[in-house]
Amino acid sequence: MRKFFQEIKADLKFRTAGPGQKLSEPSRVPKEKPKAEAAPKPRQGPTDEAQMAAAAALARMELKPKVKVASSQEAIKNQVRRELMAEAAASGKGLSAEEKDVTSPDQEGAAAPSVSGVYFICPLTGAVVRKDQKEKHLREAIQSYFSVDPVAASIMEIHTFNKDHEKVRMGVETMAKYLDNIYLHPEEEKYRKIKLQNKVFQERISCLDGIHRFFQAIGFETKTLPVPGQGKQSKEEYYVLKEEMLTKLEDLKDYKEQLLSSKPVRAQLDRQLCVFKPSPEAARFELPDDFYNLTAEEIKREQRLRTEAVEKASMLRTRAMREKEEQREMRKYNYTLIRVRFPDGYILQGTFYARESVSVLYNFVREALRDDWLPFELLGPGGLKLTDENLAFNECGLVPSALLTLAWDAAVMADIQASGEEQPASPLKPELLSGVQTLS
């Protein structure tokens, strides 16, 4: 055994001898004859199936979110940055130097939000307001409209701010009967008086927001009158139609029709249309809390619970449990941010309701094209074609965000190229390209 170790030691000494040193004889190790190198075989190109699989794999890799673990201090700073940017966008004011320092991300910080929030367009003023200011702005706009048309403004109040639609329907129909009786029997005084303490009036009409303004606007006034058959001391309040309104019975008929046919005033979702230059960050989304159907505290709790249970849930969930969870996930989102990448790499972005149909997206893209007649189709993640335009975004798994690809009709494009006509550099409208942005 000692001899064996001595031979190993001598062999190591032989291998590590420095320059100019005499090498000691190594232990006898049979030398291997060098093998002749085999001629390299010519490599074959990948098959069509392999290329398709590779393309699908690259698409999946691109869609995977880039995970970055942020320190607690960095997370707080990013949250402050998002809030300041949202406030600045809502108020239209610039940021101060101190705020800019907070909002500017660190070298390794998280990306800025893809959108600063969800916004709506007021149909009365045309103003763009943030989601949490929408109802307040609508109330103020309708209040201002009283100076223009008090009847229309009061009808707006009735239909917009009473959330129980069944109560609104019953109240409006009852009110219409009152006006019909006056219109059909103007000579009957009893129809021109409405007792405020009447049970039907109390249950169906008086409880509605805006209804008393409507009575005043169409010519009723409040009077305290004695109750018939109970003496002068017994009095009750009534709505009584003014005498001059008997000469304007056609107006009463018009007011009734307006009341029955009107709909709630709804602010329109602002698409926040944006066009971006080609970018490798197209599949990366940073969404604000507005996109979730949860409060900020609920979102934080949901994220914490999901982080703690992700491994266990992935092993123990049954198919039924997974489907139930998917349904629950779909309900969490009120909105979705969609990006459509064109063949030239340019990206069209818009905000949608999560329950809107895919047909709305096709119209959105078509309206952005220079030539809106060009046929195209949209491909979802993995190259899946969105053929059923009646499906909602959340039913297609396109919430809370998604990157889609636009593909032109091959036959039509071949005919266009064969015509020899010079084609524009981009299919998007020039006015959209003039405001193109860089996706960060």
Tens digits of per-residue pLDDT, 360-394? 999 999 999 999 999 999 999 888 899 999 999 98
- Kindly state the tokens that stand for 350: 């818009």
Between CA 413 and CA 345 the distance in angstroms is: 17
Q: What residues form DSSP beta bridges with 216? A: none
How many domains are contained in the chain? 2
293, part of any domain: no
Bigger pLDDT: 18 or 415? 415
The total of other beta-carbon atoms located within 10 Å of residue 40's CB is 6
Share in percent of the chain as helix, strand, coil (round to 5):
45, 15, 40
Q: Among residues 376, 360, 367, 361, which one has the least CA distance to residue 429?
A: 367
Under 8 Å between Cβ of 104 and 84: no
258, 165: one domain: yes
Q: What residues form DSSP beta bridges with 268? A: 121
- φ, ψ for residue 178, nearest 5 deg: -55, -45
pLDDT beyond 60 at 42:
no
What is the dihedral sign for C-alpha 151, 155, 157, 162? positive
Mean pLDDT of 38-67: 50
Q: What is the pTM of this model?
A: 0.65
Helices assigned H by DSSP within 119-149:
134-145
> What is the domain-level CATH number for residue 219?
1.20.58.2190
Q: What residues form DSSP beta bridges with 336? A: 352
264, 340: one domain: no
5, part of any domain: no
334, 216: one domain: no
Residue 54's contacts (CB-CB under 8 Å, 6 or more residues apart) are 46
> What is the domain-level CATH number for residue 405?
3.10.20.90
- Kindly state the tokens that stand for 347: 């990206």
Give residue 108's pLDDT. Answer: 45
- Kindly state the tokens that stand for 397: 């798994």
131, 230: one domain: yes
Domain end (from 227, 248, 268): 268
**Containing structural domain, residue 341:** 330-438
Between CA 325 and CA 328 the distance in angstroms is: 5
Give residue 65's pLDDT. Answer: 42
244, 129: one domain: yes
Domain end (from 268, 291, 311): 268
Q: Tally the residues of the chain.
A: 440
188, part of any domain: yes
Quick: pLDDT tens for 210-266. Answer: 999 999 999 999 999 887 766 667 789 999 999 999 999 999 999 999 999 999 999
254, 362: one domain: no
Q: Among residues 282, 268, 297, 238, which one has the least CA distance to residue 405?
A: 282
206, part of any domain: yes
Q: Between the CA of residue 156 and those of 91, 124, 126, 160, what are the distances in Å?
A: 27, 11, 17, 6
92, part of any domain: no
408, part of any domain: yes
